């Protein structure tokens, strides 16, 4: 039986933002911010929460507009807390290696020359100085990549 290789998604989106529930130092005995029963649904970390919600808009926009592509595995989207460096660093290196955004841009991504929160698409930093990205701009950028990729595969097919 031929072995099936997992296709490389055409678009890889990394949303880097903090999670309010993740903040409390020594884990175990402090991270109760996620339990509305304890906190009466109040947010101890309001600013982070606002950012989370703003990123939710980006997430929903991508999921909504590119549902088919996501289903087919052509697009992946991942939300990471910057504290999770053991995952984030290899993921950034992998994306830069896979999508080759260019030396400068690749280096900026892997060395994390972005401020929080950040949006990285195919190894390229899309957000500017921690300013929140417009959902339209993100969808537009993703669409461009998908269209270019489609055109390329068509060219390859006919040549």
Partner 1 sequence: MATNAVLISLCSFAVLILAYFTYGRFLARRIFRLDPNRPTPAHTKQDGVDYVPTKIPVLFGHHFASIAGLGPILGPAIAVIWGWGPAVLWVVCGCIFMGAVHDLGALTVSLRYQGRSIGDVCSDLIGHRARFLFLLIIFFLMSLAMGAFVNAISALFVKFHPGAIIPSFGLMLVAMCIGIAVYRLRVGLGPATVVGLIAFGGLIYWGVQQPLPTYQWFASDATQQLLTESRNAGADVDHGSIAAAQVLQESGHESAAADLTAAATTASRTWIYVLLGYGFVASVLPVWLLLQPRDYINSFQLYLALALLVAGLAVAASTGSDFNVIDAAMIRDDPQMGAPPMVPFLFVTIACGAVSGFHSLVSSGTTVRQLDRETDALPIGFGAMLTEGALAILVIMSCVAGLGSQAWEAGGAYASWGGIGKGGLGVQLDAVIHGGANFLSEVGVSERFGQAFLAVTIVAFAMTTLDSATRLLRFNVEEIFRSIKLEPLANRYFASLIAVGGIALFAQPQGAALWVLFGTTNQLLAGLTLLTVSLFLFKLRRPIIYTLIPMGMMLVMTAWAMAIQLDGFYKDKQWLLFGVSVVVVLMTTWLVIEAILSFCRGRGGLSIAHDDEDPHDDQSEVVSATHLG
**Residue 1 interacts with partner 1 (CB under 8 A)?**
no
Binding letters toward partner 1, positions 120-139, x by CB under 8 A: ---------xx---------
The residue within the footprint of partner 1, chosen from 45, 93, 132, 143 (CB under 8 A), is 45
Binding letters toward partner 1, positions 49-88, x by CB under 8 A: ---xx-xxxxxx--x--------------xxxxxxxxxx-
Q: Rounded to whole angstroms, how far apart are CA atoms 47 and 39?
A: 16
The residue within the footprint of partner 1, chosen from 8, 73, 100, 111 (CB under 8 A), is 111
Query: Could you give the strand order of the β-sheet that contains 118-121, starting from the edge strand earlier in sequence?
Result: 75-80, 11-16, 118-121, 124-125
CA distance readout (Å), 88 to 14, 97, 120, 134, 157: 9, 14, 11, 23, 35
Q: Rounded to whole angstroms, how far apart are CA atoms 58 and 62?
A: 6
Residues that bind partner 1 (CB under 8 A): 15, 18-19, 21-40, 42, 44-45, 47-48, 52-53, 55-60, 63, 78-87, 108, 111-116, 118, 129-130
């Amino acid at each position: 039986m031929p072995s099936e290789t997992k296709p490389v998604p055409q678009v890889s989106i990394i949303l880097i933002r903090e999670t309010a529930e993740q903040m409390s130092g020594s884990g175990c005995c402090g991270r109760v911010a996620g339990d509305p029963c304890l906190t009466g649904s109040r947010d101890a970390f309001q600013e982070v929460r606002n950012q989370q919600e703003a990123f939710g808009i980006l997430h929903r926009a991508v999921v909504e507009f590119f549902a088919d592509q996501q289903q087919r595995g052509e697009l992946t989207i991942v939300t990471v807390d910057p504290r999770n460096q053991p995952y984030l660093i290899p993921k950034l290196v992998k994306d830069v290696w896979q999508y080759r955004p260019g030396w400068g841009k690749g280096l900026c991504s892997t060395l994390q020359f972005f401020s929080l929160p950040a949006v990285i698409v195919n190894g390229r930093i899309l957000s500017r100085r921690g300013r929140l990205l417009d959902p339209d701009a993100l969808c537009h950028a993703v669409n461009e990549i998908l269209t270019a990729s489609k055109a390329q595969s068509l060219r390859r097919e006919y040549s």
